[in-house]
Amino acid sequence: MLFNYERALKIMDKYNLEALIATSPENVLYLSGYRSLSQWALRGVPVYAIFPRDGEPSLIIPISDLDLYADKPSWIKDVRCYGVFYIEHYEKESLKLSDSEVRLAELMKKVKRGKSALDLLVDVLVEKGLDKKKIGIDEIGIDYNTWLYLKNSLPNAQLKPAFNIFKEIRMIKTSDEVELLRKAAEISQKAVETMLESVREGVSELELAQIVEEVIVKEGGRVFATVIGCGTRSAFPNALPSSYRVKKGDIIRYDGGCTYNDYYSDIAKTAVLGEASEKIKKYFKAIAIGTEEALNAIKPGIKASEVFRIAVEAVRKNGIPHYKRHHCGHGIGIECYDKPIIRPTDETVLEPGMVINIETPYYEIGLGGLQVEVTILVTESGYELLTPKTFDRELLIV
């Protein structure tokens, strides 16, 4: 299960919430395991997952996506539908239907239906007696008028924005989530390594990006961002691959990754074609030590802000005295940035089960960009790298 059930109850108690409602695609998928294709493909398609502190959870979906529920049922058994959709049923005794087909045929006949997603949501909340309770609603998936409608329809309920509460729950990954994140990291690692093997004079950033993206898809992932900057273009933090062609001595900086079953990887690597300048070698060493010292510090009990300070200080002491950075990493999960953020203001105490990216990038216009970014799982005794290999302590020469 993606959903960290026990932790959800704990966090709900912390905020005195009697129910949680997921509305954005990631939180609905996380809570229910159900993925509405319409909600992921189109803006503004309502899908709601309702998780009461006590009692049965519910799922509200467009009837056009009911087949996805029938084909791969959610742990949430109470499903209700809105909208119009037609599927006929070939009723012939000799036909042997699969389990999914039987479920779909039955659901099409018997599923509870309502006029709109919002009406169904109000019904569910009233039915469960939650209309007089404190409820957390993921505010990112609904607009002003939807929130207003809920407020007016449930005058005795107390509605609390819960996008960040979901992020707090999601901070500790379940074992199923860790496996998806591990697989995503492995795919990206393979993609970037294959790409680096193909670097030679005259190859363009676009050609290198193409290699990365083809490996990702071959390995079963989906591309979410491919940042490749070569030469001084590597100083562009979000470098869009261009027609720029690699020359001897150029930096090649990759950042980005893929999703695997909607779970993210985000890794970075830096290499140089041929001989690197002394300044580049010195600066790379500084940022590599920054990342390494941050990794060495990771164990349950340390604060995110402390890891940040250790990372920045190590970069400053080891070759870039003027180093400045707003964060040195971030949680990663069903969103590319999960909690905690490794920054000076994040006082989150690390716990086993967190999956975190560590990075100490450096960008200098006229020189280039230098970066290693790795994904780790916080364990009882320290950490485990989810990117399959150790990270690069030395600047890669290709």
Binding to its own copies (CB under 8 A) within 101-140 occurs at 101, 104-105, 108, 139-140
Whether the upstream peptide bond of residue 300 has omega within 30° of 0, thus cis, is no
Q: Which residues pair with 228 in a beta bridge?
A: 254
Two tokens, residue 47: 């899908």
Q: Considering only residues 208 through 247, tell me which ones interact with its own copies, judged by CB under 8 A.
A: 210, 213-214, 216-218, 220, 222-225, 227, 232-233, 235-240, 242
Question: 1, 16, 44, 390: which one contacts its own copies (CB under 8 A)?
Answer: 44
Closest separation between CB of residue 127 and its own copies, Å?
24
Q: Kindly give, in sequence order, each residue whose CB lies less than 8 Å from that of residue 298, ignoring residues fewer than 6 positions away.
A: 307, 350, 356, 358, 376, 378, 382, 383
Q: Is there binding between residue 346 and its own copies (CB under 8 A)?
A: no
Handedness of CA 314, 307, 27, 183 (dihedral sign): positive
Q: Is there binding between residue 152 and its own copies (CB under 8 A)?
A: no
Stretch that binds its own copies, among 1-9, 38-46, 270-278, 372-380 (CB under 8 A): 38-46
Stretch that binds its own copies, among 49-57, 62-70, 179-187, 190-198 (CB under 8 A): 62-70
Question: 12, 22, 26, 52: which one contacts its own copies (CB under 8 A)?
Answer: 26
Q: Is there binding between residue 65 and its own copies (CB under 8 A)?
A: yes
Containing 176, the helix (H) or strand (E) segment is helix 175-197
Q: Considering only residues 292 through 311, tell me which ones interact with its own copies, judged by CB under 8 A.
A: none
Given the complex with its own copies, which of 34 and 391 has the nearer CB atom?
34
Question: 14, 77, 97, 274: which one contacts its own copies (CB under 8 A)?
Answer: 97
Closest separation between CB of residue 299 and its own copies, Å?
28
Say if CB 250 and CB 370 are below 8 A apart. Answer: no
Question: 267, 336, 341, 342: which one contacts its own copies (CB under 8 A)?
Answer: 336
Sheet with 112-114, strands from edge to edge, namely: 112-114, 78-82, 58-62, 48-52, 19-22, 134-137, 158-161
Closest separation between CB of residue 104 and its own copies, Å?
6
Question: 364, 384, 396, 398: which one contacts its own copies (CB under 8 A)?
Answer: 364
d(CA 188, CA 183): 9
Query: Could you give the string, one character per residue 67-96, with x where binding to its own copies holds by CB under 8 A and - elsewhere?
Result: xx-xxx----------xxxxxxxxxx--x-
d(CA 305, CA 329): 11
Q: Kindly give, in sequence order, each residue whose CB lies less than 8 Å from that of residue 148, ignoring residues fewer than 6 positions away.
A: none
Q: Kindly give, in sequence order, each residue whose CB lies less than 8 Å from that of residue 81, ignoring residues fewer than 6 positions away.
A: 60, 61, 62, 63, 66, 111, 112, 113, 114
Question: 301, 326, 380, 394: which one contacts its own copies (CB under 8 A)?
Answer: 326
What's the DSSP call for residue 376?
Answer: E
Q: Is there binding between residue 322 and its own copies (CB under 8 A)?
A: yes
Given the complex with its own copies, which of 171 and 298 has the nearer CB atom?
171
Q: Which residues pair with 251 in a beta bridge?
A: 272
Given the complex with its own copies, which of 333 and 383 has the nearer CB atom?
333
Closest separation between CB of residue 338 and its own copies, Å?
10
Cα dist. 20→37, 55, 256, 305 in Å?
A: 22, 12, 32, 29
Stretch that binds its own copies, among 52-60, 116-124, 126-134, 361-369 (CB under 8 A): 361-369
Given the complex with its own copies, which of 125 and 332 has the nearer CB atom?
332
